[in-house]
Chain A
Amino acid sequence: MKAVTIPVLVGIAKLFSGATLRWVGSQPDTCQRVYFANHTSHLDALILWASLPRQIRALTRPVAAKDYWVRGPIRRYISEVFNALLIDRDKIRVHNSPIDMMIKEIGDQYSLIVFPEGSRNTESEMRDFKSGIYYLSKKRPDLELVPVYLNNMNRIMPKGEFLPVPLMSCITIGQPMWLEAGESKNDFLKRARNEIIKLRDY
């Protein structure tokens, strides 16, 4: 069943987003990576995932909010198809940390798509990053952190709308970065955010 729905879903996502994928700072690779991107639309994860080359897509899991993606059978099905890693935003506790769950789920094989702004952004400027990717790279320093800039997604489906409008969009993938030795949390998050901002001008 999934053999049919994945190409169909990917096709629809590509048609609706008219997305161009540009690798400006790195090459497509199946090594373990964390793609982190700006977040302006519900479609972000789906479109970015669908635009990745097939082999990479099979090994990449978007991290998404559980409260949104389990509502209704269609969303639940879509999140299953693109193998989303659903995070319960309400029940984040020390013993139930999403970071540990992510690390457990990706093993030594999968890559992740994360949106460090936390929730979708309606302003034109990006919000400050949540600390998730800092703790993630502290526990798994071998993961490549790859910045991704998503352009125009918010016009395809802005916050609060339910019908997408098929415009064009552009996905720019930048240079991998790692947590530097002794780098503070704030410096690291600021640097990661700047990496995405830099991609805007490409």
Chain B
Amino acid sequence: MFGLLDKNTAILLLSNLAVLASLFGIGRYLKKRSSVDIDAETVRSFSRNMMAWMVVCVVLALALMVDTVVITVIFFWFVSFWAQREFVTLTPTKPSDHRTLFFLILVFPIAQYILVGMGAYDLYSIVIPVYGTLFIGARIAFANDPDEFLERTAKLQFGLLICVYALSHAPALLTLDMLMTWDSSDGQWVQWMGAKAGLLLYLVVIVQISDMTHFIADRTVGRHVIAPKVNEFKSWEGLMTAIVVSAIVGLLIQMFLPVTPFQLHGAAVMAIIISVMASSGSMTMCAIKKDRGIARHGGLVQSRGVLDRIASLCFAAPIYFHVTRFFLQVGGIEDIEKANERLEAVFQISWQTGFWN
């Protein structure tokens, strides 16, 4: 209807924006009302998060209204670029790493996103983790500086993997072709005809819900802090609340505004996976920041940067992408069945030959 969006995805986007706007409004109201029981910094940080998510949603909506994946891919490339430069800025590198950095920031990400735009899954799933890894090591070695070699390679590689590789799986959802969905009236698998943007929006909305509930629950019902040295707020209660709320919201979205090819229980399971990964992502980012000794980034990166906000999305995107692709892409299910048959055959042979005795 509008580019990559259809009716359901458009409604989901709009209602998501409405929820964010009203939460932002509540945040503003709480900030004005001088109450003793709510920490001003918490409210401010919450409002800022809502604002950031709103900006992301608006830009994403505009990108998805164009009838090509190119704009969305470029948008995600830009987010990757910004996140990665923040990451590298906060990570000490040596002058001899300069040329490696040039490739890491300008060459690999652009190549990755071009491949994603082309839908070349075979390539974009290995370019960074395999070729990138080998390249970084070799390039640093060629720069003739063996000092802290492993630390430097690890830092650069981790940044590239999280900020670029992982995040690029979000726009890659738009290029997933031939997805199947279970038609319960016919009782068989049929091709899914919904808008591709639905998969991406489902991911973004659930990540956002999960982050939001985690944040609120940590500060209201949180008792058992998970890792106080890494983050003094994140609690098991918060994590559990985030997972449960995400699953419920996922279920409701799929029930009333089916935007994904998942069945109802599938949508709930996906929401749980996304929520767990999102929480792991923000936890990891806290650990990185603590390691670098920055609660807030100080002068170099003003206030909270892009990296902080998208860490949860970065972690959730690849797993969500792969689970979707594995179970729902045509051939995926057949592959599983074939593998099952093969396994059974092997099992039978080994049984007959007395391997188990």
Residues of A participating in the B interface, judged by any CB pair closer than 8 Å? 18, 20, 22, 122, 151-152, 154-155, 158-159, 161, 163, 165-170, 172, 202
Give which listed residue, B98, B299, B300, B301, contacts A165 with CB less than 8 A. B98
In the complex, the answer to whether B105 meets A166 with C-beta atoms within 8 Å is yes
A22 → chain B closest CB, angstroms: 7
Q: With A20-B302, A151-B299, A155-B93 as known contacts, state yes or no: A168 contacts B98, CB within 8 Å.
A: no
In the complex, the answer to whether B98 meets A170 with C-beta atoms within 8 Å is no
B352 → chain A closest CB, angstroms: 62
* C-alpha gap A154/B302 in the complex (Å): 19
In the complex, the answer to whether B98 meets A161 with C-beta atoms within 8 Å is yes
Query: Inside 8 A of B301's CB, which chain A residues have their CB?
Result: 20, 168
21 CB-based A-B contacts, threshold 8 Å = A18-B89, A20-B299, A20-B300, A20-B301, A122-B95, A151-B300, A154-B95, A155-B93, A155-B98, A158-B95, A159-B95, A161-B98, A163-B102, A165-B88, A165-B98, A165-B102, A165-B105, A166-B81, A169-B89, A169-B300, A172-B299
Q: A20-B302, A168-B89, A168-B300 are in contact. List 11 more A-B contacts (CB 8 A).
A: A20-B301, A152-B300, A154-B95, A155-B98, A158-B95, A161-B98, A165-B88, A166-B106, A167-B101, A169-B89, A172-B299
- Counting from the closest, the 9 A-B pairs by CB-CB distance are A168-B89, A170-B299, A158-B95, A165-B101, A167-B89, A20-B302, A170-B300, A165-B102, A167-B85
The residue of chain B having its C-beta at the shortest distance from the C-beta of A157 within the complex is B98
Query: Inside 8 A of A167's CB, which chain B residues have their CB?
Result: 85, 88-89, 101, 105
Cβ-based interface call for B296 (8 A): no
Residues of B participating in the A interface, judged by any CB pair closer than 8 Å? 81, 85-86, 88-89, 93, 95, 98-99, 101-102, 105-106, 299-302
Give which listed residue, A22, A152, A158, A169, contacts B98 with CB less than 8 A. A158
In the complex, the answer to whether B102 meets A168 with C-beta atoms within 8 Å is no
Q: Which of A20, A22, A165, A166 has the most CB of B within 10 A?
A: A165
Give which listed residue, A18, A154, A202, contacts B85 with CB less than 8 A. A18
Query: Inside 8 A of A166's CB, which chain B residues have their CB?
Result: 81, 85, 105-106
* C-alpha gap A170/B101 in the complex (Å): 19
* C-alpha gap A167/B156 in the complex (Å): 13
A133 → chain B closest CB, angstroms: 24
Q: How many A-B residue pairs have CB under 8 A?
A: 51
In the complex, the answer to whether B299 meets A202 with C-beta atoms within 8 Å is yes
Chain A interface SS verdict (over half): loop
* C-alpha gap A165/B95 in the complex (Å): 11
B99 → chain A closest CB, angstroms: 7
B93 → chain A closest CB, angstroms: 7
Query: Inside 8 A of B85's CB, which chain A residues have their CB?
Result: 18, 166-168
Query: Inside 8 A of B86's CB, which chain A residues have their CB?
Result: 168
The residue of chain B having its C-beta at the shortest distance from the C-beta of A122 within the complex is B95
A24 → chain B closest CB, angstroms: 10
Query: Inside 8 A of B106's CB, which chain A residues have their CB?
Result: 165-166
Query: Inside 8 A of A165's CB, which chain B residues have their CB?
Result: 88, 98, 101-102, 105-106
* C-alpha gap A158/B93 in the complex (Å): 12
* C-alpha gap A96/B270 in the complex (Å): 75
A38 → chain B closest CB, angstroms: 14
The residue of chain B having its C-beta at the shortest distance from the C-beta of A18 within the complex is B85
A119 → chain B closest CB, angstroms: 16
The residue of chain A having its C-beta at the shortest distance from the C-beta of B302 within the complex is A20
* C-alpha gap A20/B301 in the complex (Å): 8
A149 → chain B closest CB, angstroms: 9
In the complex, the answer to whether A161 meets B99 with C-beta atoms within 8 Å is yes
Query: Inside 8 A of B102's CB, which chain A residues have their CB?
Result: 163, 165
* C-alpha gap A7/B194 in the complex (Å): 44
Query: Inside 8 A of A168's CB, which chain B residues have their CB?
Result: 85-86, 89, 300-301
B168 → chain A closest CB, angstroms: 18
* C-alpha gap A153/B203 in the complex (Å): 37
* C-alpha gap A149/B146 in the complex (Å): 31
The residue of chain B having its C-beta at the shortest distance from the C-beta of A24 within the complex is B299
* C-alpha gap A174/B106 in the complex (Å): 34
Query: Inside 8 A of A169's CB, which chain B residues have their CB?
Result: 89, 300
Q: Which of A20, A163, A167, A172 has the most CB of B within 10 A?
A: A167
* C-alpha gap A168/B89 in the complex (Å): 6
The residue of chain A having its C-beta at the shortest distance from the C-beta of B299 within the complex is A170
* C-alpha gap A163/B100 in the complex (Å): 11
In the complex, the answer to whether B299 meets A22 with C-beta atoms within 8 Å is yes
* C-alpha gap A141/B89 in the complex (Å): 39
